[in-house]
Amino acid sequence: MRRLLPAPTDRLRFREMSTDDLDAMAALLGDPEVMAFYPAPKTREESRAWIEGNRERYAEHGHGLWIVETHDGGFVGDCGITWQAVNGSPVLEVGYHVRRDLQGRGFATEAAGACLALVKQELSPTLLTAIVHPENLASRRVAEKLGMTHIDDDRAHPWIVRTVMGITVQPA
């Protein structure tokens, strides 16, 4: 499988996750504020599984969530494209997590925009989604800045109805 990677942006670059990222990812995914719209923050072992799951996605699909860092190597978070399910059907999703102290600076929008450009170049035509907790207004704003609109509600989970934002991506 050919592995994909978004092009660097003005402030950010992307790379595949590795086990060397465990401390940074455990801090990110274990932060209660970053994970406020998930059922719970992730433990160190769950963060290790997150990394391994993305390494499996790279091998199987050529993409997953990537480490996002500044050009000088400062850890920002993760962002990428993964296959998810909405009401039992597979959809391509752009997902993003940014360190709490760096939120509100446009990093999620910039990283997600680079992923959208990659989808346009390599995977289009396709539907690209962002699946967000209905109260996560910041995440919804990122999706809207990418040109996404509300297309569905995911009712597959008994504890929440998630908002599905989407855009049909055409080739560049």
Domain positions in the chain: 12-169
Q: What is the pLDDT of residue 117?
A: 98
Q: What is the mean pLDDT of residues 108-126?
A: 97
Question: Across all residues in the chain, what is the average pLDDT?
Answer: 96
Residue 76 makes CB contacts below 8 A (sequence gap 6+) with: 12, 68, 69, 70, 98, 99, 102, 107, 111
Residue 108 makes CB contacts below 8 A (sequence gap 6+) with: 77, 79, 96, 98, 138, 139, 142
**Per-residue pLDDT tens over the stretch 127-138:** 999 999 999 999
Place 1 in a pLDDT band, splitting at 50, 70 and 90.
confident
pTM for the complete prediction?
0.96
Place 150 in a pLDDT band, splitting at 50, 70 and 90.
very high
Class of domain 12-169: alpha beta
Place 89 in a pLDDT band, splitting at 50, 70 and 90.
very high
Half-sphere exposure for 153 (CA within 13 Å, toward CB): 5
Q: What is the pLDDT of residue 172?
A: 77
